Amino acid sequence: MMSLVLAQIETPDIAWSAVLPHLILGVGALLLLMVWSLVGRHLPDWIPSAVAIAVATGSAISAVPLWNRVTDAERGPFGAVAGAVGIDGFSVFLTIVIAASAALSCLLAIAYLKREDLLGAEYPVLILLSAAGGVTMATANDLMVLFIGLEILSIAMYILAAFHSRRVQSQEAGMKYFVLGAFSSAFFLYGIALTYGATGSTNLVDIKTYLATNVLIEDGLLLAGFALLLVGLAFKVSAVPFHSWTPDVYEGAPTPVVAFMASGVKAAGFAALLRIFVTTFGAYADDWQPIIYALAIATLILGAVMAVVQTDVKRMLAYSSISHAGFMLVGVQAASGKGTASVLFYLATYSVLVIGTFGVISVVSGRGDGATAVDDFKGLGAASPWLAFTFTIFLLAQAGVPLTTGFFAKFQAISAAVDGHSWTLAVIAMITAAIAAYLYLRIVMTMWMSDGEHEPVKVPLTTLVVLGIALVFTLGFGVWPEPIVDWANEALPALVRG
């Protein structure tokens, strides 16, 4: 008589608490889409955005217990899902930044979607899915997991860029972003393949261990992997020369989408850069630092110079975003704890600041996002002084004026370069900051001192809340930056096994 032998299949320890922020975003998006498709016609149109704000906020809150655990000296960072996910201060910090950016972007979008007759579940669902991909990138302990997160984030953003179906510019922006983004993803995937060929693994812990215990006589395959991985991620953070999509997409995409693109998407891109290069490939810093050094210089110079000659405010801020990416690359190039902390501080403060900035543009530009030329802001100071004042603070903060978060963000990046003896890079960063200040002052002067009849701008309540949060955050932590500085210093990345 034959007996059946049942093989026991080992399954990984999931540690559900570790992936709770991912689950809240991803499952929340899917449930919202399903419920709205069934009963949405019976509910007010603003419900999906409100639910998305609650979901994103819940994801950020669920990360707080993880922060308490990883900063506990007795427990510390840990891995989950068979080592595919790493939970440390770095990943928790960026999870909160990305989820908060998603919540603010959804809140900002309520009035915009109503004005453009685009209300529904599609926008908030796509924002939540994109944020879920960004959080996956921030917590990834494996290159393949990071690639999955990158694609989840990117595919949602391609659709969002083309979300305004009645605007040709939005359709064009989505197509450009999709085509170029597909190429960058292919480069990144080839980089993973070459790195696997050189090290025998895609797990970041195993790669770091292998490189620390083996001397590669022929490292051409690994260096080619570095280059291709960097190309894929440089596209996401708008580093020169992989920036060409940025001004066109920023100009054509719906303004709330651009707000999340400049905050949450950029945070996810830099999370991957820091996790891969500074943490995993730190022993090979001498090989990749010169490349990022050159990228930082090119990004700083081109971003500042091209921003000055633009006549459209959204294109100006697109090149400004490129310039800010250059400052963050200065921190990455330092390849040190101080450099990483400076990037984290920059991401946390810039994300809130840039959402507030595009919030002002959203209400001033009017239906169809048509009034975004510099001349369209003439007389705004006289017609809507409080709105113009708020916009002025945001612009001065981006210029790096003291007593704003922008000043400390740039100061810390330059300090990291100086500590790393990158004197030339630090000088170039300061010069380009002075050049970029001209463009911000140009917009300020146009609002307050140029002759023009501007109609008073009515700011919707939800947009007013976003602007208030961003204004208080920018000025409050500009005067007292220590809480975020300390938080960033505690959030340095660590690779741990599952």
Mean pLDDT score of the chain? 90
Who has greater pLDDT, 79 or 175? Answer: 175
Q: Token match 């007292």: residue?
A: 480
First to last CA, the chain: 43
Above 80 in pLDDT, residue 399? yes
Alpha helices in 262-384 (DSSP H): 266-273, 285-308, 313-334, 337-365, 380-383
Q: Token match 């996910």: residue?
A: 85
For residues 448 and 388, give the distance between their C-alpha atoms in angstroms, rounded to a whole number. 8
Cβ 171 vs Cβ 162: under 8 Å = yes
- pLDDT, one tens digit per residue, over 294-313 is 999 999 999 999 998 888 89
Q: Token match 């999931």: residue?
A: 14
Q: Is the bond preceding 247 in cis, omega lying within 30 degrees of 0?
A: no
Average of pLDDT values for 425-430?
94
Exposed, middle or buried, 218 (CB in 10 Å: 0-12/13-18/19+)? Answer: exposed
- pLDDT, one tens digit per residue, over 201-236 is 999 999 999 988 887 777 889 999 999 999 999 998
Spell out the residues 6+ positions from residue 442 whose beta carbon is closer than 8 angstroms to its own: 308, 374
R_g of the chain, CA atoms, integer Å: 22
- pLDDT, one tens digit per residue, over 382-397 is 888 999 999 999 999 9
**Which pTM was predicted?**
0.94
- pLDDT, one tens digit per residue, over 364-374 is 988 888 888 88
- Determine the length of the chain: 498
